[in-house]
Amino acid sequence: MLPLLMASYCLNLLLGAVGAQLMHGYAKRVKYKIVGFKQGLTLRKGQEVIETYGIRIKRSLPLANACLCEVDEGDASIKSLAMDPTIDFIEDDLQGEVQVVPFLTMDVKKTNQEIPWGVQKIGAPHVWKDIRGEGVRVGIIDTGVDINHPDLKDNVKEVGGVLDCKNIIDDNGHGSHVAGTIAALDNDIGVVGVAPRVDLYPVKAFDKSGRGNISNVIDALGWCIEKKVQVVNMSFGFTKNSMALERAIKEAYRQNIVLVAAAGNSGGDDSVMYPAKYPEVIAVAASNSANKAAWFSSGGPEVDVIAPGASIPSTYKDGGYKSMSGTSMASPHVTAACALILAKSSMSPAKVKEVLTASAIDIGLPKNKQGAGLVNVSRAAATIKNARKNIENCQL
């Protein structure tokens, strides 16, 4: 019943907006701009400045010390605002999308539980006797999650939604797939995730078509911080830089959150997308079962590691299962690996990245395709064990 209600609620909102515009006789085109304030200027003062220029504020974006504004097309006041000494930048609220290759999505039938090849490839089952991720909080900024999926629901602790219509239902399927790779339940059905006991905090920031804006991602990061998540998966990409997103990422990193993102599906050697391109984010390329780089995987000097991302079976919306391909599928393997590392020993995001890259296996691909190499959970766990031994020896 809830999905139906949400759908009609969103439709009503939409019809209401169209109706209001028709009543005015014409539909003015509105553009959304993110206005970032200079350092030291409080959000409240910044809002006052915007209002003196007669520009409408849609909402504030505290994580980026910025505001999302509505500007009518042709309105020159935004140009005057840009000259104001308190304003650092004004940029478009860019649109990005989830990093899956749609035509490679296939149906899979599931009866007995299978350990997906990617989960096996990164050595996760070897550590399950010791660590399964208990108590680690993992955020997923995506298209939502199927909260009733029998292979996910016990691990989903709380869901959020930051789209205008506040929809939290996974009407796309991508978010449920990503969630399954991280933490599908270890039972007798379907699949099992890399870290089958972590606590999942999925937040819907991408719509039915898999698209979302910078402002949605910033709000979703804010929600993740509020929920005290320790790792965030970002299986999406933007082709252009956003100063607002960069600020929000830096702030999340400063608050000790491990940030993991899909490198992108553009192929090539210098094509890593944002947010993966930022130094605070672990950029994940995609490999196939033969340890080659997937043909679609973006490359570049920013790639940190490579992980399975071709023909990955996992959970899907409406209680289903699908095989999907993309760096979207590689990123959650790494997110879950980070969660297992954190379950073993609490450490800073920089230290997690160090353990992850130091324990990765060189599979002989160019550096801009594989980064440090293929992620390996059992080697990462062993690294931590050795580090602890050294500390104990020093203490003796």
> Could you list the residues that contact Ca ion (CB under 5 A)?
113, 151, 184-185, 187, 190, 192
Q: Which of 93, 142, 170, 304 is catalytic?
A: 142
In the block, residue with structure tokens 């192929």: 267
Q: How many CA atoms lie within 13 A of 118 on its CB side?
A: 34
**Smallest gap from residue 377 Cβ to Ca ion (A):** 18
Least distance from Ca ion to the Cβ atom of residue 186, Å: 6
| Catalytic residue selected from 146, 171, 174, 219 | 174
Give the integer Cα–Cα distance in Å for 181 and 119: 8
Active-site residue 142, yes or no? yes
Pairing, β 305-308 against β 281-287? parallel
Strand 236-237 vs strand 305-308: parallel, antiparallel, or unpaired?
unpaired
Closest contact distance (angstroms) between CB of 284 and Ca ion is: 23
Residue 24 annotated to the active site? no
**Residue with Cβ nearer Ca ion (113 or 241):** 113
> Measured between alpha carbons, how far is 108 from 265 in angstroms, rounded to an integer?
23
Residue 333 or 353 having the CB closest to Ca ion: 333
Q: Which C-beta is closer to Ca ion: that of 142 or that of 151?
A: 151
**SS3 state of residue 191:** strand
Identify the bridge partners of residue 92 per DSSP, sorted by sequence position: 33
| C-alpha span between 42 and 50 (Å, rounded) | 13
328 is catalytic: yes
For the bound state, the minimum distance from the C-beta of residue 152 to Ca ion, rounded and expressed in Å, comes to 9
CA 379 vs CA 342, 361, 364, 366, 382: distances in Å: 14, 9, 18, 22, 5
Say how far apart CA 148 and CA 321 lie, in whole Å. Answer: 13
Per annotation, catalytic residue among 325, 328, 331, 359? 328
Task: Give the nearest distance from C-beta 312 to Ca ion in angstroms.
Answer: 15
CB nearer to Ca ion: pick between 192 and 312: 192
Between residues 179 and 185, which has the closer beta carbon with respect to Ca ion? 185
107 membership: H or E segment, kind and range: strand 106-107
H or E stretch at 121: helix 117-121
- The residues annotated with a catalytic role in the active site are 142, 174, 328
